Amino acid sequence: MAEQFVGKASEIKDGERRIVFVGEHEIGVFKEKGEYYAYSNFCLHQGGPACEGLTIAKVEERIMPDKTSRGLYFSDTELHFVCPWHGMEYDMKTGECVAAIGLATEIERGLREGRFDTLTPQAFQVLMAALCKTYAAQSEGGEGFMPLADRNSVSPTEIMTTTSALLKSANLAVFELGMWQSWTGR
């Protein structure tokens, strides 16, 4: 992404943020403890202005050795920014959507336990549509990353089954995918 002037370092105080435009993209720039963090001002949930809400410390539950809760506390080290539309939280240092990480963890736990119903079909369809739209938008925006961090996290059969279902649900054939790839060079 191109460089963009946000302001002089001396003008931006700790705890402040600025929203800047880079082409058609809105970017939230935060300054926390002398460090700068920049993220797309686009919430993964419903496209809200993710960087324009509150910044709060992560809420942590402290668990005792006997597995009982000691209560909820604010983190001393982890800060979140919160989308003002529906409260989706993002880690200030990594930009990761906290709820998405929690949801992925819950789905993986269910699969390990043999439960395939962690998500209702409707929730699954909404999530899949959001993931497709988000990945496409990020890819079109020049953020070149692969959708899987580890090739071994998903089997080739799982990828082909999902790809086939996505093509079918969009009423596309493998031939059309090949044609699109040849036209776009992807």
**Domains identified in the chain and CATH numbers:** 9-115 (2.102.10)
pLDDT of residue 100: 79
Distance between CA atoms of residues 5 and 91, nearest Å: 24
Q: Determine the Cα–Cα distance for residues 33 and 112; give it in Å rounded to an integer.
A: 40
Q: Which residues contact 109 (CB under 8 A, 6 or more apart)?
A: 118
Which residues, including other chains, have CB under 8 Å from residue 46's CB and lie 6 or more apart?
85, 86
Identity of residue 146 = M
How high is the mean pLDDT in each 10-residue block of the chain (186 residues)? 78 92 87 91 84 90 87 90 90 87 84 85 82 78 74 81 83 74 72
